[in-house]
Amino acid sequence: MHFAYPPRKSSNPPPYFPKGSRSPFLRRNRLQTIALCAVGGFLLFFLVSKLFGSSPESIPSGTPPVVLVTVIEPERSHELSDKIKENRRQYAELHGYATFFANNTDYDLDKSPKSWSRVPAMRHAMTEYPHSTFFFYLDENALITNHEVDLIDDIMEKSKLESLMRTNIPVVPPDSVIKTFAHLKGDRIDLVLTQDKEGLAHDSFIMRRGDWAKYFLDAWFDPLYRSYNFQKAEAHALEHLVQWHGTILAKLALVKQNVMNSYADPIREQASDAGAAREGDFVTYFGLCDNPPRNCENEMQPYIDKATRQYNKMN
């Protein structure tokens, strides 16, 4: 049957026009887009958390937790240099640490004094031992005189370091207006130093590996500072950095001198009140013992012999 007129529309039309056969396709596209965005967001979060997150670092098995760094003057007596190196090796062997030795001619210092070489040597050691936690710089005119002291347990362990830190004292004695912070946590300290009567004693210092340590060493070795011709070269550059850069002072702990940098008899008068060498001190420093009429080997030999006897007993 044919109608003369088309059928009338319903008097109750739907609230919107149905989309017909395209509707399922569009819905699938929308769901796929949402799913892809969710997966992309998860991957982005995962990558960011890996790059910048605070998850514990995976340290390869057998990595030494501490590296002892010493720069040697190649022109000095080879016999004495060997004894100084052996002193470090003995200590490192007893505690499962490592040693790193460099010559003060290994680095391009331009026209700067050779004493600056300690700074790139520390950076070099961190490159050679990228997973070690602490780096202990020890001047060639210093000896480890008590092998029983463990650098981590007796100095760098969080609560121990907090008990050793000297807070709210002038950074550079006797009257620097810049003082050490009072509420630092031991596990946030990245640089440990001592003082003598004249200033910061940087012939023995400890650094914690990390981005801050790299920044600090790069800042210390800046050509601008080396061009200033400070009277005490890198020592005065260090004092400038520590006093006027809060990002460095905030990571610094000062400890008493006899914790890790006691002065032997010939330089006892330069030591702080707690800095003259005593029986049982961890490190003994002999200052500029290679300047005549002094003789490093003569002054060091009794300490070397005693430390070697202790090593043999402990080994």
Does the pLDDT value for residue 29 go beyond 70?
no
* Cβ-contact 163, 257 below 8 angstroms: no
Q: What is the pLDDT of residues 65-88, one digit of tens each?
A: 999 999 999 999 999 999 999 999
H or E element, residue 307 = helix 296-314
Report the C-alpha gap between 81 and 269 in whole angstroms: 27
Out of 40-44, 90-94, 117-121, 178-182, least confident range: 40-44
Which among 139, 80, 93 is positioned nearest to 114, based on CA atoms? 139
* Cβ-contact 135, 207 below 8 angstroms: yes
* Cβ-contact 142, 283 below 8 angstroms: yes
The pLDDT of residue 52: 47
Report the C-alpha gap between 230 and 296 in whole angstroms: 26
Sign, CA dihedral 221-225-227-228, equals negative
Q: What pTM was computed for the model?
A: 0.82
Q: Within 10 Å of residue 146's Cβ, how many Cβ atoms?
A: 18
Cis ω for the linkage preceding 293 (within 30 of 0): yes
- Report for 151-160, 175-184, 266-275: range of highest mean pLDDT: 151-160
* Cβ-contact 97, 66 below 8 angstroms: yes
**211-220 helix and 234-244 helix, angle to the nearest 10 degrees:** 120
Q: What is the pLDDT of residues 243-269, one digit of tens each?
A: 999 999 999 999 999 999 999 999 999
pLDDT band, residue 274 (cuts 50/70/90)? confident
Report the C-alpha gap between 13 and 23 in whole angstroms: 19
The residue with tokens 């149905």 is 18
Strands 191-195 and 200-208: what pairing? antiparallel
The pLDDT of residue 9: 55
What is the overall mean pLDDT for the chain? Answer: 88
Which among 85, 99, 78 is positioned nearest to 142, based on CA atoms? 85
SS (HEC) of 55-72: CCCCCCCCCCCEEEEEEE
Does the pLDDT value for residue 6 go beyond 60?
no
The pLDDT of residue 278: 95
The pLDDT of residue 313: 96
Report the C-alpha gap between 296 and 2 in whole angstroms: 124
Out of 36-40, 127-131, 203-207, 208-212, least confident range: 36-40
Mean pLDDT for 218-233 is 91
Residue 148: both structure tokens together: 């029983």
Q: Is the pLDDT higher at 14 or at 164? A: 164
